Amino acid sequence: QVQLAESGGGLVQAGGSLRLSCAASGRTFSMCAMGWFRQVPGKEREFVAAISWSGGSTDYADSVKGRFTISRDNAKNTVYLQMNGLKPEDTAVYYCSADRRPYSTRPYEFDYWGQGTQVTVSS
């Protein structure tokens, strides 16, 4: 089992940057595909980005392509989401997730979730 804890959220002006971190516990982190999702009140949780267990493959939602970058450091059991060029519509609670299947390929199945971190972008 993997436990996840996000950090790095906050308030930023439009055009600014934030880097979210997700620290994972458990020896299986390096075998897990990881993802970031976000949710605003009254809406469904939406996919933001994903990275394969090795870090060799990444996927992004169209709305964040070219602005957000997902990466991971398996030695530190941490996955990151670098967010540049933030827009007010990026305001949401951001969740880290993990695919429990070792060495999985697309389509990923995200089974483990963190508690979320709030990102607020002011105009």
pLDDT of 70 reads: 98
Q: Are 105 and 114 in contact (CB under 8 A)?
A: no
Question: Residue 105: helix, strand or coil by DSSP?
Answer: coil
CA triplet 34, 38, 44: central angle to 5 degrees?
A: 115
Question: Residue 89: helix, strand or coil by DSSP?
Answer: helix
Residue 1 has pLDDT above 80, yes or no: no
pLDDT of 28 reads: 83
For the record, the structure tokens of 80 come out as 């990151």
pLDDT of 80 reads: 98
Give the model confidence (pLDDT) of 8-27 as tens digits. Answer: 999 999 999 999 999 999 77
pLDDT of 76 reads: 94
The DSSP string of 22-87 is: EEEESTTGGGS-EEEEEE-TTS--EEEEEE-TTS--EEE-TTTTTTEEEEEETTTTEEEEEE-S--
**Portion of the chain with pLDDT greater than 90, in percent:** 87
User: CA torsion sign, 88 to 9 to 83 to 13?
Assistant: positive
Give the model confidence (pLDDT) of 42-92 as tens digits. Answer: 999 999 999 999 999 999 999 999 999 999 999 999 999 999 999 999 999
Residue 2 has pLDDT above 90, yes or no: no
